[in-house]
Structure 1
Amino acid sequence: MEYIEQQTYLEFKRFCKILFLEDDPDLIASYKKIHATGAAWPEITQGMRDVGILDMEIYCSGTILFMIMDTIPDFDHEKAMNELAGKPRQSEWEAYVSKFQKTSSALSAKDKWQSIERIYKLGE
């Protein structure tokens, strides 16, 4: 009960997205390693914070990635993703991770990760 009461005071926008990995166990294992605690490039995590991303989690089930992205309340997704794409090393990171993903190395995170629609929320 205490946890729920604390959550009601937080204000943020939440985005949920999916992306598919190549169907290769070795590539999937490597992808998980580059996303392990402390393994992501510091410029990438700082760039996300700079554009208003407060928290991000990525979950993996087989070849499916599911992302939860919490942002500042007035987050403008289009503007922030365009700004993020121009951050130092961001295009290098996108090209690097694209070898694991079922996507093109030329695409930005905005174009790779597909937003999904929330259809249910407990209590609503």
Structure 2
Amino acid sequence: MKRYCQTLELYDDKELIEAYVAEHAHVWEEVKAGIREVGITDMQIYIDGNRLFMIMDTTDEFDMERDYARLATLPRQAEWEAHMAKFQKAAPGATSQEKWKLMTRIFKL
């Protein structure tokens, strides 16, 4: 298993943040299926203010560059990304991999 931790900022707008959280209560089934199909076995997103933190566990074979690119081609993924973009502080048209910044572990117990 591989683990990736990533961060992303939302626009600092209470209504947008509440809407973003609400959207994640019912992520489209095609999006969840695509995430699993590329080798992501678990994904959790946490929020603090307008900062998101994602923990993503994958198969050993998962390659972030290759499999994120593949994920973007699967059903409804591009539509979901476009739908979420209005909440996210990122360049217009940025891919999911460009928006979510990979974090480096600095401590492990």
Band the TM-score falls in, shorter-chain normalisation? over 0.9
**Residues of 2 paired with 1:86 and 1:74: CA distance?**
19
The amino acid that maps onto 1:88 is: P
Given the alignment, which residue of 22, 26, 29 partners 2:15?
A: 26
Mark the structure with the bigger radius of gyration. 1
Q: Distance in 1 between matches of 2:10 and 2:102?
A: 16
Conserved in 2, the CA contact under 8 Å of 1:58 and 1:66? Answer: yes
Could you tell me the percent identity over the aligned residues?
49
C-alpha distance after superposition, 1:36-69 (max 9, x if no partner):
2xx0011111000000000000000001000000
Structure 1's unaligned 5+ residue stretches are 1-11
Structure-to-structure mapping, 1:1-124, within 5 angstroms: 12-36=1-25, 39-122=26-109
- SS of 1:35's equivalent in the other structure is helix
**Runs of 4+ residues over 2 Å off in structure 1:** none
User: Bigger relative contact order, structure 1 or 2, given CA contacts below 8 A and separation 6+?
Assistant: 2
Q: CA RMSD in A?
A: 0.8
| TM-score for both structures, normalised by structure 2 | 0.96
- Taking structure 1 as the reference length, the TM-score comes to 0.85
- The offset of 1:104, in angstroms, is 3.2
User: What stretches of structure 2 of length at least 5 have no aligned partner?
Assistant: none
- Mapped to 2, the partners of 1:58 and 1:22 lie a distance apart of 16
